[in-house]
Structure formats: C-alpha cells, structure tokens
Amino acid sequence: MKNFFTSFFGAIVGVIIALVLCTLIFVASIVNGVKEVFKNDSKAETKLKPKSVLYMDFKAPIADRTSDNPFANFNFSSLGEEALGLDKIVERINLAKEDTAIKGIYMNLTELNAGVATVEEIRNTLLDFKGSKKFIYAYSEMYSQKSYYLASVADKLYMNPQGMMEFKGLSAQIMFYKKALENLNVDVQIFRHGKFKSAIEPFMLDKMSEANRLQTEVFMGSIWNSMLDGVSKQRGISKDELNSIADELKLKTQQDAVTLKLVDALLYRDEVMTEIRKKIGIEESKTINFVKLVDYKDKDDKEDTKAKNKIAVIYAVGSIESGEGDDNTIGSDRIAKAIRQAREDSTVKAIVLRVNSPGGSALASDVMWREVTLAKKAKPFIVSMGDVAASGGYYISCAADKIYAQPNTITGSIGVFGMMPNAQKLLSQKLGINVDTVNTNKHSDIGTIYRPVTETERVYIQKGVEDVYDVFTKRVAEGRKMTQAEVDSIGQGRVWAGSDALKIKLVDELGGLDQAIAYAVKVAKLDKYSKVTYPKRKNALDEILGKAEDKAEEKIMTKNLGETYKYLKYLQNLLRMKGVQARLPFEYVIY
C-alpha cells in the first residue's frame, strides 16, 4: 500500500511539473513571438535596399482578414509559420507595384492553402502588378492545379527537375452516411424545400441525387472553364489543348511540362536564383535582397480611425449562427452590431460587406438582413463575395445595392432544410438504454432524439420550413428586383458558380474586394478616404488562447485521421444545428 501511495503521489507531482514546464515553454514562445513581431515592424518601416525582390509563399491558410493583434503573423496550425490575410496580401502587392525599390516578385508555390476565389483575387492583383513592367517569377517542387493556376501569371514559370505537376481537371467527392446510420439504428428525419438542397443528402441517400449531380457538374464545369481561360491567356495554349492535356494525361514526365509549354524550364532552386540575379542585374556572388511579404509594409499600415471620410469594410466569415460568434463564425449579434455601428457613424460614407460563408441559421441570417436593409437606406451598401457566399451567405447579401463575386465563387443555394436524428433504436437495441418521458402536453418533447416525430409534428415542422423558404425568396426578389417566381426558378437550393450567377442576376459584376471598395468610393463621391474594418477584434490574449486551443485540436485530429477529419467535422457541425437552416451543401472535397 505504501508503494502504491508513493507511486501515486509521484505521478501527480510529475504531472504538475510537466504542466508547469509546458506553461513556461508556451509563455516563452509567446514572448519570442511578440519580440519577432515588433522586430519585423521595426524593419518594415526602414527604407528597402535597391533592387529588392518581394518573396511570396502561401504555406499558411489564407483568411479574408488579417488579425490586428500582436500575434498577427503567428500561425498555430504550424506553430510559428507566418500568415497574412487576403486583405494584406492584396494591399502589399499593390504597394510593391509603386515601390521603386521592389524590382519584381518571386513566388514559391510548393504549397498553397486557399480557396479558388481567394486564389483568383491574388491572381488578379498580380496581373495588375505586371502593368508596372516589373517581373514575376514562379517556382515549385510540386504544382497542384490551384497553385499552377496562380503561377500561370508569372513571366517565367519554373519547376524542380524532379518535381511534379497536376493537370487532370477538377473532381468533387461527397461522403454518404446513410448505411452507417442504418447499421447504428439511427433514423435521420429530413425536412427541406428545394430539390437541389443537398446538404442533407448524405443522411438520406447512398449517392448523389440527379439534381445534385447536375448542379455539381455545372458549377464545377464553370470553375474549371474559368481556370482554363486564365491559363490559356497567360501561357498561350488553347483551351482545347489544355483539356486534351488533362483528358489524355499527357503530362507524364517532368520534361512533358516544358514540351507542352506549361512551364518554361526545369531548374533547381539555386538555378532560379541565378536567373533572378541576371534579371535584377547583380553578380552571381551577391545575395539577393528578398523581403518577405509578411515583413513588407509601410508606416501607414494601420487604420486611420480619425479620417474625415471612411469606407467601412465588414467581414462576415464562417458558418452563420445566432449570438456573438467569433472570428471563425458569423454571429448574428456581432455582425448586426457592426453593420449598425457603420450605419450610425457619420464619417462612414459607404459600407462594403465581405461575405465568405456557406450559410447556417435562417433566423440569424434574417437578423443580419434587417440591418443590411436599414444601412442601405442610409448610405451605399455593397457586397463582395469570397470563396463561398451561399444560402444564408446569400440571404445576408441579397439586399445590397450591388454584389461583386469572382467567376469561381460558390453562391446561390437559395433553399432551406431542417434535420432531426432519431436515436431511439440505437439506444434501446444497440445499447440497451430506454428513455421514459413525462409531458404536460401532447407535443412537449417535440424535437427530442429519443423518439420519431409523429405525422402531425412532421406536417408542423415542414410548414415552418416552407414558411422560411417563402420569406427567403421574398427577400431575394425584393433585393434583386425580380419576381418571387423567378427567384424560385433559380433557387430550390441550387448552387451556382459566380460566372453563372452573373447571367441569372444573382450577382451584378465579377470582381474582388478591391473592385467593390472602388465602386463604394465612386458612388459615395469621395476624393480621399480611409478604410476602417469591422467587427472590432476581441482582446488579443483571449483570441490567441482560443486559436491555440482550436488549432491544437484540429492539428491533432488531422494528423491522426487525415482527410477523414473533414467528414467527421461536417458530421459534428450538422448534428449541432438548431432551427431551420439556410446552408450550402459545401462539404465537397474538390481537387
């Protein structure tokens, strides 16, 4: 017994010591991170050396908005890898265009962690940069189709002699859970409006419905066509030939990439450096003065909150839910407050809402829609859509004066659904658990997972879904100046690519956030302005600790489960849903 207690308390002491050490290491890491950030800030305000080259890579995930706390460039998913949001990436490329010290851009695209519309926005900014007559060189050990699309803007496109390149066309895959749930004796009760509203199909079918397959083929085809247009124009290869390369798998060896004119040469990194030295006119023995994108900023890289005239940019990113939300979700209270603050601020002359959301709660969407309509009456209100702005994401956008989207933005999905799992048989037959209930009224326990809904309850819930769809289509019809019947004909939960959404009047113009802001400035008739962003950030310490916890869990789960983790996360999110959902069937794995 004595040995037991000795071992027991020894173990406790060991755990305490380990926790203390981990805490000290974590604090030390944070302190070092802060020092590095301030060091970078100090460097950023100094004058660059002549013949500098802007260095860009995209290893870290690219969010729409860069964090403005002291840990802005600390990426917890990779424990220290630098990260910038799309806003600062675009801003700094534009800055480099006018900077006489910057002679060109070098992109290392071995990794690219971004959505297709985000890539489109960066690519368009680089195309504009080329108007300065400065060079862009791209290099990679392995080009994915997405990274190659971005690289195709380069004046010179290089690949490692033993590298790899994908060029095979796009594919989308969806995992279906129906049989697994049946094996567990779980019945999922579905309520929906819209034959294309396929977010719940994985729980009721074993494969895509014909409607879902049709919409997927159409929007995937539009995205691929947009990519082919861009590559064809920059590389001088016809779209027919590009499709032939993909269909016939012509890209069999590294040399094929050169022969087919997809890349300019097969070079090792040191050889690419030699090419850059030649381009900027320095000797082979000299070191190239690279400035990393994260370090490249001027002393005015801050918001001017005291400016006379402002354009407010409100970021609505993530799934939509009621309540406060956070930087990774759209909480209706938080975003509604941000819109209200921008509306009531007399120095704000126009509002741009940046939407990157697959949707979520229909009720929360309507709360924000109301604030959009009020703001629109007070000042110009423009929407800029990111990678996805569909279902609830479209709901909060539809009342805007003008909507911008990229050709490969996923949007539309005007439809709603509800879902209730019935785990009665799982509990009783698989686990031997019975649940007894006492109600004061006949339907007091409606919505419980411990029994199926009755026919009366099914009619009642379906009526609620139909009513939400009716309101949704009315909102869109009013905002887009269409009839409700016209909206229904392109609604029904159908997903559209931005290029197709333009044709059916769901969006007004193709373009990114910069174009939306430029239009806002024009209609507000401003000569000078500053940009102010909403919603205001949380306390830096709270944000960093929250991110550390979330990212640590995600990293561990991804490491152990790989791609399967995406499906697990999807399943968890669906089972947590409350109320009627205006949500995109966005859990496609597209590659």
Give me the active site residues, please: 197, 391
Q: Widest CA span of the chain, in angstroms?
A: 87
User: Which residues of 298-415 form beta strands (DSSP E)?
Assistant: 310-317, 319-321, 329-331, 348-357, 359-361, 381-390, 402-405, 410-412
**Kind plus residue range of the DSSP H or E element containing 445:** none
Q: Based on the number of CB atoms within 10 Å of its own CB, is 41 exposed (0-12), middle (13-18) or buried (19 or more)? A: middle
HEC secondary structure over 376-402: HHHCCEEEEEEEEEECHHHHCCCCCCE
Residues linked to residue 143 through DSSP beta bridges, in sequence order:
165
Q: Under 8 Å CB-to-CB from 380, ≥6 apart: which residues? A: 349, 350, 351, 401, 520, 523, 524
Which sign, positive or negative, has the C-alpha torsion 547, 553, 557, 559?
positive
What Cα–Cα distance (Å) separates residue 371 from each residue in 169, 423, 531, 538? 41, 39, 20, 22
Dihedral, CA of residue 228, residue 231, residue 235 and residue 237, to nearest 10 = 0
The phi, psi pair for 74, rounded to 5°, reads -105, 115
The phi, psi pair for 134, rounded to 5°, reads -85, 155
Q: Which residue has the tokens 């207690």?
A: 5
What Cα–Cα distance (Å) separates residue 178 from each residue in 36, 199, 575? 50, 13, 14
Cα 435-438-442 angle, rounded to 5 deg: 115
Q: At what angle do helices 210-235 and 116-129 cross, to 10 degrees?
A: 20
CA 318 centroid distance within chain: 8
Query: Which long-range CB contacts under 8 A does 263-269 form with residues at least 24 apart?
Result: 263/157, 263/158, 263/159, 263/165, 264/156, 264/157, 264/158, 265/156, 265/158, 266/158, 266/159, 266/160, 266/161, 266/163, 267/139, 267/158, 267/159, 267/160, 267/161, 268/160, 268/161, 269/139, 269/160
Q: Under 8 Å CB-to-CB from 5, ≥6 apart: which residues? A: none
**What does the DSSP assignment read for 509-552?**
EE--HHHHHHHHHHHHT-SS-EEEEESPPPPHHHHHHHHHHHHH
Q: Alpha-carbon distance 49 to 103, whole Å?
A: 11
Q: Which residue has the tokens 């944000």?
A: 543
Q: Alpha-carbon distance 277 to 250, whole Å?
A: 33
Give SS3 for 577: coil
Q: Alpha-carbon distance 79 to 75, whole Å?
A: 6
